[in-house]
Amino acid sequence: MGCCSSQPIDFNSEVNLFHFDLHRAVGKGAFGKVRVVEHKKTKKLYALKYIDKSRCIRQKAVANIIQERRLLEEIDHPFVVNLRYAFQDDDNCFFVLDLMLGGDLRFHLDRKGHLSEEVVRFWVAELASALVYLHKRRIVHRDLKPDNILLDSDGHAHITDFNVAIHYSERRLHTSVAGSMAYMAPEVIGRKGYTWCADWWSLGVTTYELLFNRRPFEGRTTDRMTNSILKDAPKFPDGPNLRCSSAAVQFVQGLLERTVSERLGCKPGGNTFEDMKNHPWMSSIDWAKLTSKQLQPPFVPDTRKANFDVSHELDEFLMVEKPLTHTKRKANLDLEKLKPELRQLEEQFTVYDFTSSQRRSYYPHNQPITTVVRSSGSEPMSVIQSQTHTLQPTATMAERSLAGSPGPDTTWHQPMHLPLASIS
């Protein structure tokens, strides 16, 4: 599969889809798919995430796509799925990202049913390293969960999907609800105001799920899930069913602390990374070797097999949806005649090429855009807060974090005082 055109390709021009050969489909999101692509000049493989513009506009997600594009340009870390190229054609916006052939943690959790403590600890250490890096750059992910953690072919964990990530403010707390409900911190779902510490709660829920193959907070309805997150104490298996050390339980309990000032990694005057490294559960980790990927992962995925749902590829062959093809852009595009949303994409979803572009920060101009919540499945659902402070999953709205949001609680909301050298 790929371009069959005999026209020569100018690799010195702006990057576009003609620079890549298209291979198999490996994933599907809210607005498009993910495919393996090969750069025709370098022969390097990447993951191509492509977003259908019309579908994006219908779901009022233009600002989120632009926000994700900007945030990814700022990031370059060994445990993040990094952006390498960004561009668009008349129908789609494209993200070209590091290729992860090991599958996501949801895939492996569903198939193995039980993951060893050693494996989980290794992944959590890598994820903690990535979160500290993001928080240092004033980025809160807001949707950390097994589905958004990908393994490379060697077994290293990487955070992906920055669609609802934002720059957090050091002057006020955010109140917009975003993410996947089962992994939301109580200060998020309860609208008490939150910042980067919400990600550590999500890591706690993820760690619990990886260890015990179930989530600590459950509820078949939105109200029950909300009540569980706000009030229920996480329950741990007893005796031989525990299958992990007491240090692991203590680590998870530290992350699932509802009082933010007492949560692991969020204590006043503390150093997030040092708190993680000094915890007894992490005593076996050589952090210098971990961050340079010199440690051998205890779990290596079998890349001879498909570590993803093969139905994505079947959809492509059966043409269930419009197949992706190399298409030249319309000449002499007149921005004045475009619909506002299309013009916004043309102007703000700018070209990025990691071989020639300088990474830049968009802070503080990249602010929260909309309220997006995901259920335990992958499809997003918008929510609105009622006068009785219950979540209404079927109501649709676009919401910004308002200027009248609660001010910071000085007992815990403070800038990240982390030396760059410790998280690079």
With a CB cutoff of 8 Å and minimum separation 6, the contacts of 410 are none
Which amino acid, one-letter code, is at 287?
Answer: W
CA angle in degrees (0–180, nearest 5) for 141-108-228: 55
> Are β-strands 178-180 and 372-374 bridged in parallel, bridged antiparallel, or unpaired?
parallel
Which amino acid, one-letter code, is at 18?
Answer: F
The packing angle between helices 197-212 and 105-112, to 10°, is 30
Check if the beta carbon of residue 136 is closer than 8 Å to that of residue 418. yes
> Are β-strands 384-385 and 372-374 bridged in parallel, bridged antiparallel, or unpaired?
unpaired
**Active site includes 76?**
no
- Burial (CB < 10 A; 0-12, 13-18, 19+), residue 249, is middle
Closest listed residue to residue 103, CA positions, set 33, 47, 150: 150
Per annotation, catalytic residue among 143, 147, 161, 275: 143
Q: Extract the annotated binding site for ATP.
A: 49
Closest listed residue to residue 20, CA positions, set 323, 330, 325, 313: 325
Closest listed residue to residue 141, CA positions, set 96, 97, 182, 184: 184
Write out the E strands in 164-206: 166-167, 178-180
CA angle in degrees (0–180, nearest 5) for 386-55-346: 105
Reading the block at residue 409, the tokens are 């609680």
Half-sphere exposure of 110 (CA within 13 A, CB side): 10
From CA 373, how far away is CA 65, in angstroms rounded? 15
Cβ neighbours, 10 Å, residue 240: 6
From CA 27, how far away is CA 148, in angstroms rounded? 12
DSSP letters, 149-200, are EEE-TT--EEE---TT-EEPPSSS-B---EEEGGG--HHHHTTS-B-THHHH
Q: Which residues are identified as catalytic? A: 143
